[in-house]
Amino acid sequence: MEQAQTASSIRIAALLVATLANFLTPFMSSAVNIALPVIGSEFASSAILLSWVPTSFLLAAAMFAVPFGRISDIYGMKKIFSYGIIIFTVASFLSAVAPSTESLIIFRILQGIGGAMIFVTGLAIITSVYPPQERGKAIGINIATVYIALSLGPVLGGIMTQYFGWRSLFYAMIPLGILILILTYWKLNDEWAECKGEKFDIKGSIFYSIVLVMVMYGFSTLPHITGIILVIGGIIGFIGFLMYELKLESPVLNVKLFKNRTFAFSNLAALINYSATFAVTFLLSLYLQYIKALDPLSAGLILVAQPVMMAIFAPIAGRLSDKFVPQKLAALGMALSTIGLFLFAFINAQTSIAFITVGLIIIGTGFGFFSSPNTNAIMGSVERKFYGVASAMVSTMRLLGQTFSMGLALMVFAIFIGNVQITTLQYPALLNSIHTVFLICTVLCFIGIFAALIKQKNKSSI
């Protein structure tokens, strides 16, 4: 007869499985971005159609994060996590054999659904098995994996695309997905379903998904009139969704969670942080390649400085958040990011590469100190039965923030540069755009410092 697993072995197994799974989606996203020109060349795709290859994944993941967070609380986190791995792995194979851009986009949507199931349950499982005094350390390790994946994505993705073709990126996900699935059933014998027997709110889930996509897609198309209409309609729809959810006994998103100041403001801080920092790589990539005339590889090696610092400091900050007030650590991280963003608001053609690298190091350190403690604060502010939904909110804030950040950058570009190809004539306008976006992001991040500091007056969680 097999000996029962000890609490320690379960924790280690859960962290291992969730951390490996946490590598999948960010690596795939960053690697696919590098491969887009090759994909576009093979399928003779238009730039707009090609842009849907990464966007379709992002939208699908955002749409399904909260519904699957709730489903995992009802039917079991391990079950939804496993199904997510299977869907992601199958979708990777289908993407690898895709015969056209349109079919690739469809398979990326499927991959996004699997991705949503993975990252909302992975964090929730870790939170379930680790006690509060050790949770920050585990969350820090888990989050560091995201930054390692983001660091390796452009480098390994570029090498694989160049020597083995873009389809190799998707093929590589298949053995990793199978390994995670085997480890899940071999090492994790427990199941976590704190809301077992409760009803699932199908209408609310559909309502939520529609208004979220309206806001995300609308913001990405600003300042066009279609984008304005979609964003306004989405915001009105979201207010209606919240009013609808308040009337239900078993809502997909328990609005009462936001009465907890820690949960509400830490989620707001996460949204602000991702909104202020996600476009940094995009902006500096253009700056380094256009203004500084660097080749893509050289630019990529410089930009790696930020995620490397994130990967180094996320576990450290996570461990510290077990001993100190996580909100103060998160605010410190936000303050460092504010300083780094402010420095970039004044770059010009003469700015040294050393200056750029220092700015990236500051932002990367700040993000590392922010993310783990802030996530620890969010997950520690709710009862066990809400872990799935809380984890889903963390993911949703990340996806929304990423979309808003890119939408902000593209909106400013549309105003300063217009819908034209960037040539030497547009370089002054490009610099003005970059300065404007970094100034706006600096203000956002500064506001985020105060959002990160706010916490519930009493220690009880919802």
The average pLDDT across 106-132 equals 89
| CA 196 – CA 198 distance, rounded (Å) | 6
Could you say which DSSP state residue 255 is in? G
Query: Comparing C-alpha atoms, which of 190, 194, 189 is closest to residue 73?
Result: 194
Residues 2 and 33 in one domain: yes
Rg of the chain over all Cα atoms, to the nearest angstrom: 21
Which of 123-137, 215-229, 346-360 shows the lowest per-residue confidence on average (mean pLDDT)? Answer: 215-229
The average pLDDT across 321-330 equals 91
Which of 33-42, 308-317, 318-327 shows the lowest per-residue confidence on average (mean pLDDT)? Answer: 33-42
Residues 267 and 305 in one domain: yes
In which band, very low, low, confident or very high, does the pLDDT at 175 lie, cut at 50, 70 and 90?
very high
Residues 330 and 192 in one domain: no
At residue 2, does pLDDT exceed 50?
Answer: no
| CA 416 – CA 300 distance, rounded (Å) | 26
Torsion sign, CA atoms 24, 319, 317, 396: positive
Residues 221 and 322 in one domain: no
Give the rounded distance of the alpha carbon of 253 from its chain centre.
19
In which band, very low, low, confident or very high, does the pLDDT at 420 lie, cut at 50, 70 and 90?
low
Torsion sign, CA atoms 215, 216, 217, 221: positive
Between 42 and 301, where is the model more confident? 42
Residue 168: CB atoms within 10 A of its CB come to 16
Average pLDDT, the chain: 85
Residues 171 and 282 in one domain: no
Measured in residues, the chain has a length of 462
**Could you tell me the residue range of the domain that residue 43 belongs to?**
1-200
Structure tokens at 329: 């650590």
The average pLDDT across 289-306 equals 81
Query: Comparing C-alpha atoms, which of 257, 236, 234, 254 is closest to residue 246?
Result: 254
Select, from the ranges 147-151, 304-308, 423-427, the one with the highest average predicted confidence (pLDDT). Answer: 304-308
At residue 188, does pLDDT exceed 70?
Answer: yes
- On whether the pTM is more than 0.75, the answer is yes
Could you say which DSSP state residue 322 is in? T
Look at residue 287 in the predicted model and tell me its pLDDT. Answer: 87
Residue 252 lies in a domain: no
Tell me what percent of the residues of the chain surpass a pLDDT of 70: 95
Query: Comparing C-alpha atoms, which of 196, 153, 171, 167 is closest to residue 28?
Result: 153
- Name the 3-class secondary structure at 167: helix
The average pLDDT across 140-146 equals 84
pLDDT, tens digit, for every residue of 73-108? Answer: 888 888 999 999 999 999 999 999 999 999 999 999
The average pLDDT across 242-261 equals 84
Look at residue 199 in the predicted model and tell me its pLDDT. Answer: 84
The average pLDDT across 145-151 equals 80
In which band, very low, low, confident or very high, does the pLDDT at 133 lie, cut at 50, 70 and 90?
confident
Sequence letter at residue 397: M
The answer to whether the CB of 317 falls within 8 A of the CB of 333 is yes
Residues 24 and 78 in one domain: yes
Residue 183 lies in a domain: yes
- Residue that the structure tokens 């897609």 belong to: 217
Residue 374 lies in a domain: yes
Residue 30 lies in a domain: yes
Residues 386 and 346 in one domain: yes
The answer to whether the CB of 286 falls within 8 A of the CB of 343 is no
Instruction: Give the CATH number of the domain where residue 130 resides.
Output: 1.20.1250.20
Residue 254 lies in a domain: no
Residue 391 lies in a domain: yes
Residue 401: CB atoms within 10 A of its CB come to 20
Residues 222 and 105 in one domain: no
The answer to whether the CB of 88 falls within 8 A of the CB of 68 is no
In terms of phi and psi (left: phi > 0; alpha: psi -120 to 50; beta: otherwise), the region of 293 is left
Structure tokens at 186: 């071999």
The answer to whether the CB of 451 falls within 8 A of the CB of 272 is yes
Look at residue 422 in the predicted model and tell me its pLDDT. Answer: 63
Residue 51 lies in a domain: yes
At residue 314, does pLDDT exceed 70?
Answer: yes
Residue 57: CB atoms within 10 A of its CB come to 27
Extended beta strands in 231-311, E state: none
Sequence letter at residue 332: L
| CA 4 – CA 316 distance, rounded (Å) | 32
Structure tokens at 7: 């609490």
Residues 400 and 303 in one domain: yes
Task: Tell me how many domains the chain contains.
Answer: 3
| CA 262 – CA 454 distance, rounded (Å) | 6
pLDDT, tens digit, for every residue of 446-461? Answer: 999 999 998 766 554 4
Residue 253 lies in a domain: no
In terms of phi and psi (left: phi > 0; alpha: psi -120 to 50; beta: otherwise), the region of 422 is beta
The answer to whether the CB of 144 falls within 8 A of the CB of 126 is no
Residues 102 and 212 in one domain: no
Tell me what percent of the residues of the chain surpass a pLDDT of 90: 33
Last residue of a domain, one of 161, 181, 200: 200
Query: CA separation (Å) from 75 to 191, 197, 232, 388?
Result: 9, 8, 35, 11
The average pLDDT across 22-35 equals 82
Q: Is the peptide bond before 315 cis (omega within 30 degrees of 0)?
A: no
Structure tokens at 423: 């040539």
Residues 224 and 109 in one domain: no
In terms of phi and psi (left: phi > 0; alpha: psi -120 to 50; beta: otherwise), the region of 29 is alpha
At residue 1, does pLDDT exceed 50?
Answer: no
Look at residue 419 in the predicted model and tell me its pLDDT. Answer: 61
The average pLDDT across 366-379 equals 92
The average pLDDT across 336-354 equals 94
Residues 274 and 418 in one domain: yes
The answer to whether the CB of 207 falls within 8 A of the CB of 241 is yes
Look at residue 3 in the predicted model and tell me its pLDDT. Answer: 43
> Which positions ≥6 away from 163 have C-beta within 8 Å?
none
Look at residue 355 in the predicted model and tell me its pLDDT. Answer: 96
Residue 211: CB atoms within 10 A of its CB come to 21
Look at residue 461 in the predicted model and tell me its pLDDT. Answer: 47
Structure tokens at 363: 């932002």
CA torsion 164-169-171-175 (nearest 10°) is: 120
In which band, very low, low, confident or very high, does the pLDDT at 137 lie, cut at 50, 70 and 90?
confident
- CB-hemisphere CA count at 13 Å for 218? 17
